[in-house]
Amino acid sequence: MEFHDKVLKCSECGAEFVFTSGEQMFFADKGFKNEPKRCKGCKAKRAEGSGGGGQMRAETKTSCSQCGKETTVPFRPTQGRPVFCRECFQQRRALGAA
């Protein structure tokens, strides 16, 4: 099958970008059915987590199981499992590595 460069429009920023014949061949070899939707710039932004459609990490306020200090953690704590503030967590990590 012969491939020719195609000009596509980015679904995120609206800029035009080239879907090269080499990229098309790669997609065909991998069995990908859909053409890319985003330009390289938007794809890179999305990969690093700063894209407009990405999910934000949930911040949860809780108190440290060791010292009792109020802290914020980047996850939703699980019932029955201890949660530590940064200082206590790093202390425990240092003790575990020794």
Spell out the per-residue pLDDT of the chain, length 98, in tens.
Answer: 789 999 999 999 999 999 999 999 999 999 999 999 999 999 988 887 654 554 566 788 999 999 999 999 888 888 889 999 999 999 999 988 76
73 and 41 in a single domain? The answer is: no
Residue 1: inside a domain: no
Q: In this structure, are residues 18 and 7 in contact, taking their beta carbons and an 8 Å threshold? A: yes
40 and 68 in a single domain? The answer is: no
Q: Cβ neighbours of residue 85 under 8 Å, at least 6 residues apart?
A: 64, 66, 67, 69, 71
Best CA proximity match to 60, nearest among 42, 40, 75, 47 = 75
Query: So what's the pLDDT on residue 51?
Result: 46
In terms of residue numbers, what domain contains 25? Answer: 6-47
Query: So what's the pLDDT on residue 50?
Result: 53
Residue 52: inside a domain: no
Residue 38: inside a domain: yes
Residue 73: inside a domain: yes
Query: So what's the pLDDT on residue 57?
Result: 67
Residue 15: inside a domain: yes
Residue 54: inside a domain: no
Total domains in the chain come to: 2
